[in-house]
């Protein structure tokens, strides 16, 4: 009895012949390259499915000079940052888009000099085909390192300094105005804010939205305390704020983690929420549903941030020039305000 002969793998030439296109056109279509019409791309994809063609990863990388990976670089050194549900959702969104490609996702944390050297080596070696940058602080050298490298770069949120061509962000100032306007609609007149880090564009934008809402409403009372987007930071900021301004009757916290910390402090101080102090957060994280009381918050589409950053990066890798994208926010009303 003879063994059944091994089935030969179809070649790219056979895919091109079946699709009725040249081999180079088939290769460009397969690798999301430029200058391929929609009809040809669809014909190639149909031929791949019919023939059961599976690209050779090594040959493909050599032919396209691709590393086969993209990097999500977060400006931070503490691995605990990856436990933050915000980044978890960004990563999940990016992963869903990359599942439809041959590219892998590489995660990097870098703020220290050593971390920046690692990122520089990664970029100089072209070990990735593109980079997504998030959580930049101040005049972060990571932005310059990425922009000087010969790889496509997409920013998650605008950096505080300099102009960047490709980024995905949410309308942070508008979202903060939504939160503050809601508190004003509840007849609150002493509305304080726990800001995010003020060496970030997101921190400044949400503070700006809060101030704009108060100004437009003709409310002169102001009080703020800077936080760091963590629950622990929210606790420390709320304690300081309450000590200085015990007469406050509402708080806009620039993210849900800090809002959760603020609720803890108010409960310990015996301040009823929302009867005495109304609280609104920002993000729409799962924690907002399980705080006591459940948190009114400004929802931002975090999964879509990851998806759209990745789609924009893939477009750049393919030779396109996408436009920057600003995503909308929505107020979600619960029992805290």
Sheet holding 330-332, edge to edge: 224-226, 191-195, 250-253, 278-283, 296-299, 330-332
Higher pLDDT, 24 or 173: 173
The dihedrals phi and psi of 75, each to the nearest 5 degrees, come to -75, 90
Unique residue bearing structure tokens 């990745």: 310
CB neighbours (10 Å) of residue 320?
A: 12
Q: Which domains does the chain have, with CATH numbers?
A: 1-52 (1.10.260), 69-169+302-326 (3.40.50.2300), 172-301 (3.40.50.2300)
pLDDT at 168 (0 to 100):
97
pLDDT at 125 over 80: no
Mean pLDDT value across the chain: 87
Q: Is the dihedral of CA 81, 82, 84, 88 positive or negative?
A: positive
Mean pLDDT along residues 14-34: 78
What is the tens place of the pLDDT at every residue in 274-316?
A: 999 999 999 999 999 999 999 999 999 999 999 999 999 999 9
Give CA angle at 177 (176, 182), nearest 5°: 100
Q: What is the pTM of this model?
A: 0.79
H-helix segments, 99-246:
113-124, 141-148, 172-185, 201-217, 231-244
Q: With pLDDT > 70 as the criterion, what percentage of the chain qualifies? A: 89
Task: Determine contact, residues 61/34, Cβ cutoff 8 Å.
Answer: no
The length of the chain, given as a count of residues: 337
85-98 and 302-317 helices, crossing angle to 10°: 40
| Residues ≥6 apart with Cβ < 8 Å to 215 | none
């Amino acid at each position: 009895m003879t063994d059944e002969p091994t089935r030969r793998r179809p070649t790219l030439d056979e895919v091109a012949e079946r699709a009725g296109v040249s081999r180079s056109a088939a290769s460009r279509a397969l690798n999301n390259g430029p200058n391929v019409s929609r009809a040809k791309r669809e014909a190639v994809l149909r031929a791949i499915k019919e023939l059961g063609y599976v690209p050779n990863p090594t040959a493909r990388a050599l032919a396209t000079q691709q590393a086969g990976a993209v990097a999500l670089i977060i400006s931070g050194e503490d691995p605990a940052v990856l436990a933050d549900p915000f980044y978890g959702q960004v990563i999940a969104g990016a992963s869903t888009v990359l599942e439809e490609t041959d590219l892998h996702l590489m995660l990097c944390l870098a703020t220290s000099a050593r971390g920046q050297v690692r990122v520089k080596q990664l970029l100089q070696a072209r070990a990735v085909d593109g980079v997504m940058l998030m959580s930049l602080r101040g005049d972060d050298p990571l932005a310059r390192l990425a922009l000087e490298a010969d790889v496509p770069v997409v920013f998650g949120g605008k950096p505080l300094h300099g102009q960047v061509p490709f980024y995905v962000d949410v309308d942070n100032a508008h979202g903060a105005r939504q939160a503050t306007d809601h508190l004003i609609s509840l007849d609150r007149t002493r509305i304080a804010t726990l800001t995010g880090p003020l060496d970030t564009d997101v921190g400044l934008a949400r503070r700006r939205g809060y101030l704009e809402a108060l100004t437009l409403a003709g409310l002169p009372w102001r009080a703020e305390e800077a936080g760091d987007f963590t629950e622990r930071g929210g606790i420390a900021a709320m304690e300081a704020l309450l000590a200085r301004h015990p007469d406050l009757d509402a708080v806009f916290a620039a993210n849900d983690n800090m809002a959760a910390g603020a609720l803890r402090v108010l409960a310990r101080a015996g301040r009823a929420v929302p009867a005495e102090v109304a609280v609104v957060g920002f993000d729409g994280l799962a924690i907002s549903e399980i705080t006591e009381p459940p948190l009114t918050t400004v929802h931002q589409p975090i999964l879509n941030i990851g998806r759209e950053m990745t789609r924009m990066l893939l477009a750049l890798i393919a030779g396109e020039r996408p436009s920057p994208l600003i995503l909308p926010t929505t107020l979600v009303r619960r029992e805290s305000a």
